[in-house]
Amino acid sequence: KGISLETVAEETRIRIDNLLLIEGENHDKLPDEVFVKGFVRAFAKAIGADADEAVRRYQMRLKVVQKLAKSEADLKIPAGKFWRRLLFCLAAVVGLIFLSVFALSVFKKYTSSELHQTDLKQPVPIETKEKVAFEPRYDTQPAVDLNQNKPEKLILKITAIEETWMKIIIDEQKPNEYFLKPGDQVELKATLAYNLFIGNAGGVQLLLNNESINVPGKSGQVVNLRIP
């Protein structure tokens, strides 16, 4: 809505320095979680968004980030990647909450399932690589030989049976995040591998090339899974 920090501070009675800390993602200088939830609720009301929904999303993402911070130490990931991913997750908590609040105020006639369907229609970047691989510019080999060298696609089908959050990295590319509700489905394609961060281990069912993949952990647990 183009509301300035001064206007938000006046309407919510939240000090501008706290708003700047949230905007700058200075988590170590912010008050306790209970105060931050109050800030999110007041901010949502100030712009006409659903305050309860904003706080609920903040709590869910914060819980996932806190669990990821504890479980990442057990993963065989170089130290540099660990800290980059941790900082990314922390920044995403506050940033995505405020993006969600603005989205709710503009698109409050749309349901979250409709937003999710829009995400599923986005093209997968891997398709571009496949087209380049099969471009017959100087190759004199028969088409059958090219097909023999073609890597098998890894088709991953995700079905949500409980509400959960996921971060998915395909072939070491840029990660994508999904907020799934029961009944939601996602289908992805990869050439090399998937790296999944699952906020609720018991909340999803996975099929890789139509074969069931076991998700370790129980409902409510955060897990990291590499496929295959």
| Confidence bin at 191 (pLDDT 50/70/90) | very high
What CA–CA distance (Å, rounded) separates 201 from 223? Answer: 6
Q: What per-residue confidence (pLDDT) applies to 55?
A: 75
Are 82 and 121 within one domain?
no
The label of the residue with tokens 């059958």 reads 144
pLDDT at 19 over 50: yes
Domain end: 107, 138, 170, which one? 107
User: Is the same domain home to 120 and 93?
Assistant: no
Residue 82 neighbours by CB distance under 10 Å = 14
Residues in the chain, total: 228
- Which amino acid appears at position 132 of this protein? V
Q: How high is the pLDDT of residue 76?
A: 52
pLDDT tens for residues 163-181?
999 999 999 999 999 999 9
- Residues linked to residue 154 through DSSP beta bridges, in sequence order: 190
Residues of the chain above pLDDT 90, percent? 26
User: Helices 5-12 and 33-46: crossing angle, nearest 10°?
Assistant: 110
- Structural domains counted in the chain: 2
Identity of the residue numbered 91: A
User: CA torsion, points 116, 33, 202, 53, in degrees to nearest 10?
Assistant: -30
Last residue of a domain, one of 80, 107, 134: 107
Rounded mean pLDDT, 4-10:
71
Residues 6+ apart with CB under 8 A from 120: 185, 186, 187
89-136 residue pLDDT tens: 777 776 767 767 666 665 565 455 554 554 545 545 555 445 445 455
Question: Are 67 and 169 contained in the same domain?
Answer: no
Q: What is the pLDDT of residue 154?
A: 92
How many Å apart are CA 50 and CA 55, to the nearest integer? 9
Angle between the N-to-C axes of helices 79-106 and 33-46, in degrees from 0 to 180, rounded to the nearest 10? 30
Domain that holds residue 38: 5-107
* Residue after which a domain boundary falls, among 90, 107, 124: 107
Whether the predicted pLDDT of 160 surpasses 90 = yes
Average pLDDT over residues 200-208: 91
Residue 74 token pair = 């057990």
Q: Can you give the pLDDT at residue 138?
A: 46
Mean pLDDT of all residues in the chain? 73
Is residue 78 located within the same domain as residue 171?
Answer: no
The fraction of the chain above a pLDDT of 70, given in percent, is 56
Cα 180 from Cα 183, distance rounded (Å): 8
Quote the tokens at residue 16: 């501008």
DSSP β-bridge partners for residue 186: 158
Separation between Cα atoms, residue 53 and residue 61, nearest integer Å:
12
What is the structure's pLDDT at 53? 86
